[in-house]
């Protein structure tokens, strides 16, 4: 039997509907980038099915897919589950903040996914302006598959491979 009287020891109220505390609040739609690293042993049709399921889940939760880009097979920096390489895929999407937890839960129980990372994109205004000046705007949303060159910020760079100083002595 439930007692509807307030308790002096507990200030929390009873939620009967099972709704989350954020249910009535409007959640902001933000742009995210999802990187998935698949097992190299996973067949291409299975990888395509997982990406399709992930994108359908994003759209079902009120999001919108901006771009899906396969990066191909690459060597991992360190072994993950005895694998030395993985198949990389990037999904750029816009979704409410509440959709991310459910998305990650679905990815975590997928055996073929070695690693995943969801990052909120905050692009500087200069990058957006350069993307709008010419060329494909969607291509500017994705990082390039090649190694990106570091921008020159005016400081002198020391090539650590040629330096004989201890790593702690290098700024």
Task: Determine contact, residues 43/84, Cβ cutoff 8 Å.
Answer: no
Q: What are the residues whose beta carbons fall under 8 Å from the beta carbon of 171, sequence distance 6 or more?
A: 158
CA atoms within 13 A on the CB side of 144: 5
DSSP letter for 28, please. Answer: P
| pLDDT tens-digit profile, the chain (171 residues) | 444 444 444 444 433 334 444 454 456 889 999 999 999 999 999 999 999 999 999 999 999 999 999 999 999 999 999 999 999 999 999 999 999 999 999 999 999 999 999 999 886 544 444 555 555 555 555 555 554 444 555 555 545 454 454 455 444
What is the tens place of the pLDDT at every residue in 40-56? 999 999 999 999 999 99
| Domain residue ranges in the chain | 29-131
Domain 29-131 has CATH 3.40.640.10: no
């Amino acid at each position: 039997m439930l007692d509807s009287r307030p308790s002096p020891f507990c200030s929390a109220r009873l939620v009967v509907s099972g709704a989350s505390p954020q249910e009535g609040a409007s959640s902001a739609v933000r742009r995210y980038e999802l990187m998935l690293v698949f097992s190299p042993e996973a067949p291409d049709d299975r990888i395509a099915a997982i990406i399709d399921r992930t994108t359908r889940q994003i759209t079902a939760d009120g999001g919108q897919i901006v771009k899906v880009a396969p990066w191909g097979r690459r060597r991992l920096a360190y072994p993950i589950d005895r694998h030395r390489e993985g198949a990389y895929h990037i999904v750029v999407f816009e979704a409410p903040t509440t959709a991310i937890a459910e998305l990650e839960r679905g990815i975590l129980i997928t055996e073929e996914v070695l690693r995943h990372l969801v990052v909120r994109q905050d692009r500087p205004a200069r990058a957006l302006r350069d993307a709008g000046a010419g060329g494909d705007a969607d291509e500017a949303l994705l990082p390039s598959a090649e190694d990106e060159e570091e921008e020159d910020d005016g400081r002198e760079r020391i090539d650590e491979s040629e330096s004989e100083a201890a790593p702690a002595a290098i700024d």
